[in-house]
Structure 1
Amino acid sequence: MENKLLIINANTVFEKKDDKYFGYKSRFGDIVIGGVYSYRFVVHYAKTNQDVVIIPGDANTVTTPVCTTLEERLWKPGAQAKACRDEIIEQAKADIEKLANKYGYYYAYGRNTKAEFIVNCEKRTVVTILRWLAEGQIVAKGIAKAAPDDCYNVHIGRAIALRRALGLAVPDEYLNAPRPTEVRVGDFISDDSGVNKALVIEDDSWPPFSGGAVIYLKDARKYCYRIIDDSREER
């Protein structure tokens, strides 16, 4: 009875079957009932929503809202969330290379194509354009755009845009990567308005000659600015 009440009162319920999680119920309407979700998606969802329950394959052994089993905790502290995001970013980088052949071309729509990545950090977008090798004709486009409250990452953006251009499914972890929990050198941070942003630099370094606002790492951590871009790629 206690387990049934837990399910009834929950806002969202997932049911675990083998290594997959299926949407079981959602009062928010943001989960597809019967839809398949990854472990990382459920981790992120459980961290950012209240009253999330996971059924580990047996409705009579419902776990607490942040656990898959009594032994396996689903809730991830900040340090683990940071490692999880880093892992997803590395996965995205590897994904782009893995989808290409040994010549660096992508097979799509019956022929080999070359990909062009257009990065716009100001608009927080990445566009992938696929062209036929010989003619140079555009055959497909894919677009990735970070949500206003999300942290932009060009590597994840490239992987999403490329997969969309190729007509491939985009993994849940790319779309729902946990936000970075710790400011690091190379990040771009902003105040709450999102208008004033600065590049985070080493505490003992000189500001770059390229101009633009900068902030020392110790100050960025001290004042808890919001991380808006953790691509850490030269621009």
Structure 2
Amino acid sequence: MESVNQTAIDSASTVFEKVGEDYIGSKSRFGDILIGAPYSEAFVKAYANERKDVLVIPQTIEYTAFLHNEEMKKVATQGQAPIVSAQARRDEIVEQAKADVEKRITNNALDRVVYFVLNRIKRTVVALIKGEYSGKVYAKGIAKAAPNDCFNVHIGKAIALRRALCLAVPDEYLNAPQPTEVRVGDVIEVTLDSGEIEKKPVISLKAGSLNVHLPGRIIQYPSHYVKIINDSGEEVGGE
């Protein structure tokens, strides 16, 4: 089990080691935990509820975990399932959605055309199936991101198109893990120390750090609270 434990550590975003009554930070992918610093159990539980894939290692090296990812839960309880991080799983679902949409469009009737109407403010995607020459709308499907979910246009397109075609929507589209890594092209919501909230696209990431460069401002991530609200990786049109 030792090699599986190391795999769990490598895959976890944050790791705490329980020493006495304290939880010592031993790994932080986000950079918001001080390595070697002690934290209380209450802090660790609250932190784990906010973040994904948090492991706690007692001195016995028997795992206990506050985990959101089902595959990591299996490993933590002596299971042999492969570990897939929340971010990696979301990436897989996005690629699945892209392929799904391409397949549905390719297999569509010759006299039908699929149009997508995107609204980044309302966080919606509408799929319209129209006659190629008549312009008549034969079917319509709508996808809307939940208030606390990160919007992704590719997942939205797959959901909306399947609804327009009266096809079942896979559970993974509706319950995809939230992103855990800030990337260039993401749109993030930043709560500043003043309480002001800014929503900006990430135009670059400084090499070797977690600083997020925004148009006209450099945010010291994650010292400011940052939430990824759109990880489509492309400009989303509409108002």
Taking structure 1 as reference, are residues 139 and 194 closer, same or farther at Cα in structure 2, changes over 3 Å only?
farther
Q: Distance in 1 between matches of 2:199 and 2:128?
A: 29
Q: Distance in 2 between matches of 1:88 and 1:234?
A: 20
Deviation at 1:155, TM superposition (A): 0.6
1:71 counterpart residue number: 79
Taking structure 1 as reference, are residues 233 and 215 closer, same or farther at Cα in structure 2, changes over 3 Å only?
farther
Q: Distance in 2 between matches of 1:156 and 1:215?
A: 30
- Asked if residue 153 in structure 1 is aligned to residue 174 in structure 2, the reply is no
Share of identical aligned residues, percent?
48
2:118 counterpart residue number: 119
Q: Distance in 1 between matches of 2:129 and 2:103?
A: 16
1:62-141 equivalence runs, <5 A: 66-67=73-74, 70-73=78-81, 80-101=85-106, 106-107=108-109, 112-141=111-140
RMSD: 3.3
Q: Gaps spanning 5+ residues in structure 1: where?
A: 1-42, 53-64, 205-211
**Aligned 8 A contact 1:66 1:73 in 2:** no
Q: Distance in 1 between matches of 2:112 and 2:169?
A: 20
Q: Distance in 2 between matches of 1:151 and 1:214?
A: 24
Task: Letter of the 2:188 partner, please give it.
Answer: I
Q: Write the deviation string for residues 172-225 of structure 1: whole angstroms up to 9, x where unpaired.
A: 110000000111111111135895211112146xxxxxxx95654x73344340
Taking structure 1 as reference, are residues 99 and 203 closer, same or farther at Cα in structure 2, changes over 3 Å only?
closer
- Asked if residue 202 in structure 1 is aligned to residue 204 in structure 2, the reply is yes
Q: Distance in 1 between matches of 2:135 and 2:217?
A: 43
Q: Gaps spanning 5+ residues in structure 2: where?
A: 1-52, 54-65, 207-213
1:142 counterpart residue number: 141
Runs of at least 4 residues of structure 1 off by over 6 A? none
Task: Letter of the 1:202 partner, please give it.
Answer: S
Taking structure 1 as reference, are residues 203 and 70 closer, same or farther at Cα in structure 2, changes over 3 Å only?
closer
Give the TM-score taking structure 1 as reference length.
Answer: 0.59
Deviation at 1:116, TM superposition (A): 0.6
**Aligned 8 A contact 2:105 2:114 in 1:** no
Deviation at 1:47, TM superposition (A): 4.7
**What SS is found at the alignment partner of 2:149?**
coil
